[in-house]
């Protein structure tokens, strides 16, 4: 791998870390702190959480098409600017609708597809797997660090201080994009394929059974993730953990999860059996959700269920992209990744709205029961 390729990988990874840390830091604290805003209720709470994912779904493919026309760098910077503006709106608002509008702007900067496409265009094909794996590792590290520091920052500076900090991270990502990431030539304009040829090829990709299965998997597990994060802070408070110590609970759980998952992934790579473990992971996911659903009033059992969930969720998140890479064609790999990403963000959006509605309708227990049902669907999907 050349120095230029390594330079690009490190740059894209840094942008990813700065951008996604602003997304992940919100998850453990948003539910517990949003009730301080004016006009809040369970349904609006769910919309505020889920609208980010829906805006990502709406703008993911258009942003990809625009980046093919005008270049990746411009779209990435534009998306980060929107993300920063949305963060500042949330930081200064006193009303739930201000939070919803800010989150919608954050989500409209859908740069994930452009970043991955930029990376794959900048690295030789024989290094694609290594590059994507490096992004995945940094993704997990970012998730771990953000889950720890999000509650700490919120406890010290409030929800507004957290979003001011997220704006700063977005500005740093813009600076990195502008000064570090080189501008690539526009490959799309050199493509002589007609619209109908491109449409037929994309239709063929979309109809790929394996891709459909993987997209549904990532869709369902992200619904489950958001459902859990909607109720976990409330359950922890009910179990006697004050909000200012939640970061300690998450940090211990995430540290153990990272060690277990990293060790197991190294084992799977040596055995070359990544694709055969997905069904077993879904069974463990169902067990974790059942345990949390039945143990909302028992400290040890619920914490063990949380631990089991984070281990298996992180493992599934690592396995699915590895399988996706194997089934995607070289020519339309970015399109395949975009379709997969749509399933991911759609899951985040549906999870937020569904979780808020269920929380308003039947409380914590109903949300956890829904997670059990969806986990059961995941088991049958991979049987």
Q: What residue spans define the domains of the chain?
A: 3-181+207-381
pLDDT at 195 over 60: no
Domain spanning 3-181+207-381, CATH architecture: Up-down Bundle (1.20)
Q: Mean pLDDT score of the chain, rounded to an integer?
A: 80
CA dist 105 and 101 (Å) reads 6
pLDDT at 126 over 70: no
What pLDDT is recorded for position 202? 65
What pLDDT is recorded for position 373? 95
SS3 assignment, position 135: helix
pLDDT exceeding 90 applies to what percent of the chain? 17
Give Cα 262 to chain centroid, integer Å: 19
Q: Work out the average pLDDT over 266-278.
A: 67
How does DSSP assign 239-250, residue by residue?
TT--GGGHHHHH
CA dist 356 and 363 (Å) reads 9
* Torsion of the alpha carbons at 11, 211, 140 and 298, rounded to the nearest 10: 160
What 45-48 contacts at long range (C-beta under 8 Å, 24+ apart), as own/partner pairs, is 45/96, 45/356, 45/359, 46/230, 46/352, 46/353, 46/354, 46/355, 46/356, 46/357, 46/359, 46/360, 47/100, 47/352, 47/353, 47/356, 48/96, 48/99, 48/100, 48/103, 48/352
Q: Work out the average pLDDT over 322-344.
A: 71
Q: For the chain, first and last CA: distance in Å?
A: 39
**Cross-strand bridge partners of residue 38:** 95
What pLDDT is recorded for position 289? 95
What pLDDT is recorded for position 45? 76
Measured CA to CA in angstroms, residue 184 lies from 100, 245, 279, 330 at distances of: 35, 46, 40, 18
């Amino acid at each position: 791998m050349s120095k230029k390729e390594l330079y690009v990988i490190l740059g894209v990874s840094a942008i990813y870390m700065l951008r996604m840390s602003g997304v992940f830091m919100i998850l453990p604290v948003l539910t517990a702190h949003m009730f301080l805003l004016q006009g809040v209720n369970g349904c609006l709470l769910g919309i505020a959480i889920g609208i980010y994912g829906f805006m990502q779904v709406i703008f993911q493919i258009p942003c990809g098409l625009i980046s093919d026309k005008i270049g990746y760098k411009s779209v990435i910077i534009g998306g980060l600017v929107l993300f920063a503006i949305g963060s500042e709106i949330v930081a200064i608002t006193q009303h739930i609708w201000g939070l919803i509008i800010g989150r919608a702007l954050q989500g409209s900067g859908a740069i994930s597809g452009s970043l991955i496409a930029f990376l794959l265009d900048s690295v030789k094909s024989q290094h694609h797997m290594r590059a994507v794996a490096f992004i995945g590792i940094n993704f997990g590290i970012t998730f771990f660090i953000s889950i720890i520091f999000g509650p700490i920052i919120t406890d010290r500076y409030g929800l507004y201080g957290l979003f001011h900090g997220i704006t700063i991270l977005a500005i740093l990502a813009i600076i990195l994009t502008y000064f570090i990431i080189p501008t690539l030539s526009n490959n799309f304009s050199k493509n002589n394929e007609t619209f109908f040829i491109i449409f037929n090829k994309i239709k063929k990709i979309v109809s790929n059974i394996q891709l459909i299965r993987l997209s549904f998997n990532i869709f369902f597990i992200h619904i489950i993730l958001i459902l859990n994060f909607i109720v976990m802070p409330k359950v922890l408070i009910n179990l006697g953990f004050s909000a200012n110590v939640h970061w300690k609970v998450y940090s211990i759980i995430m540290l153990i999860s990272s060690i277990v998952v990293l060790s197991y992934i190294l084992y799977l790579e040596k055995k070359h059996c990544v694709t055969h473990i997905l069904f077993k992971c879904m069974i463990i996911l169902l067990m974790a959700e059942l345990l949390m659903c039945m143990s909302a009033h028992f400290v040890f059992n619920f914490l063990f269920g949380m631990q089991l969930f984070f281990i298996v969720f992180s493992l599934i998140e690592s396995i699915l992209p590895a399988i996706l890479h194997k089934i995607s064609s070289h020519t339309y790999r970015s399109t395949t990744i975009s379709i997969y990403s749509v399933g991911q963000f759609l899951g985040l959006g549906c999870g937020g709205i569904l979780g808020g509605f269920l929380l308003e309708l039947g409380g914590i227990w109903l949300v956890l029961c829904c997670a059990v049902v969806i986990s059961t669907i995941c088991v049958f999907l991979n049987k």
